[in-house]
Amino acid sequence: MRKLLLIVVLTVCTACGGSGGSGGSATKLVFGYKIEPGAGLVGANLSRANLKNAKLEGADLTNANLMTADLRGADLSNAKLTGADLRGADLTDTILNGAYLLDANMEGADLSEAELRGAEFFSTDLTEAKLEGADLRDQMLNGANLTRADLRGADLSNANVALVDLSNANLTGAKLQGTDLGETDLTNANLTRANLSNADMRWTDLSGADLTNADLTGADLTNAILTGANLEGAAMPEGWKR
C-alpha cells in the first residue's frame, strides 16, 4: 500500500513540474495565454498584463488588447501587431525591430529607448507617444498620427514622413536631414534646433511652428506654408525669400 501511495505522489509531482531544478516549463502563462516566441495571440486580451522582458519575437498579436500593458524590455522583433491596442503601454527598451504596427493604436505609449529598426508604422496612431531619442532612420511612417508626440532628439533621417500629422509635436533637436516631409502637418510644432537640411518640405504646413535656430539649408520649401512660423536664427535654403 505504501509503495502504491509513493508511486501516486511521484506521478502527481512529475505532472506538476515542480518549482525547483530545471524540470519546469520555459513557457510563461499570463491570463491563461502562452507567452513564447511565435505565440498565436490574435485578439488576446492582455490589458494591464505584466509582460516585462517577455520573449514574443515573431508572435502574432493582431488585434490584441495590450492597453497599459508593461512591455518593458520585451522582445517583439518581427511580431505582428496590426490593429493592436497599445494605448498607454510601457514599451521602454522594448525590441520592435521588424515589427508590423499597421493601424495599431499606440496613443500615449512610452517608446523611450525602444529599438525600432525596420518596424512598419503605416497609419499607426502615435498621438502623444513618447519617442524621445528614438531611432527612426529610413522608416516608413506614411499616414501615421504623431500629434503632440514627444520626438525630442529623435533621428528621422531619410525617413518617409509624408502626409503624417505632426501638429503640436515636440521635435526639438530632431534629425530630419533628407527626410520626406511632403504635405506633412507641422502646425505649431516645436522644431527648435532641428536639422532639416535637404528635407523635402513641398506643401508642408509649418504654420505657427517654432524653427528657432533650425537648419533648413538645401531644403525644398516649394509651396510650404510658413504663416506665423518663428524663423529666428534659422539657416534657410540659398536664395530663399519669405
pLDDT tier at 9, thresholds 50, 70, 90: very low
Mean per-residue pLDDT for 206-225? Answer: 97
Angle at 194 between CA 77 and CA 229, to 5 degrees: 125
- pLDDT at position 239: 79
Q: Mention every residue, 6+ apart, whose C-beta is less than 8 A from residue 175.
A: 154, 155, 156, 157, 194, 195
Is the pLDDT confidence value at 26 over 60? no
pLDDT tier at 5, thresholds 50, 70, 90: very low
Residue with cell 527626410: 179
| Rounded percentage of the chain residues whose pLDDT exceeds 70 | 89
Contact 136, 117 (CB under 8 A): no
Averaged pLDDT of the chain? 89
Is the pLDDT confidence value at 242 over 60? yes
Give the Cα separation of 211 and 209 in Å (integer): 6
Query: What letter would DSSP give residue 4?
Result: H
Which contacts of 179-186 are long-range, i.e. CB under 8 A and separated by 24 or more positions?
none
Output the nine-digit C-alpha cell for 188.
505649431
| Rounded percentage of the chain residues whose pLDDT exceeds 90 | 81
Quick check: helix, strand or coil at residue 11? helix
Mean per-residue pLDDT for 45-70? Answer: 98
pTM: 0.84
Q: How far is CA 7 from CA 16, 18, 116, 121, in A?
A: 14, 16, 53, 56
> How many CB atoms within 10 Å of residue 201?
26
Give the Cα separation of 233 and 193 in Å (integer): 9
Is the pLDDT confidence value at 240 over 80? no
**pLDDT tens digits along 137-190:** 988 898 899 999 999 999 999 999 999 999 999 999 999 999 999 999 999 999
User: Tell me, what amino acid is at 131?
Assistant: L
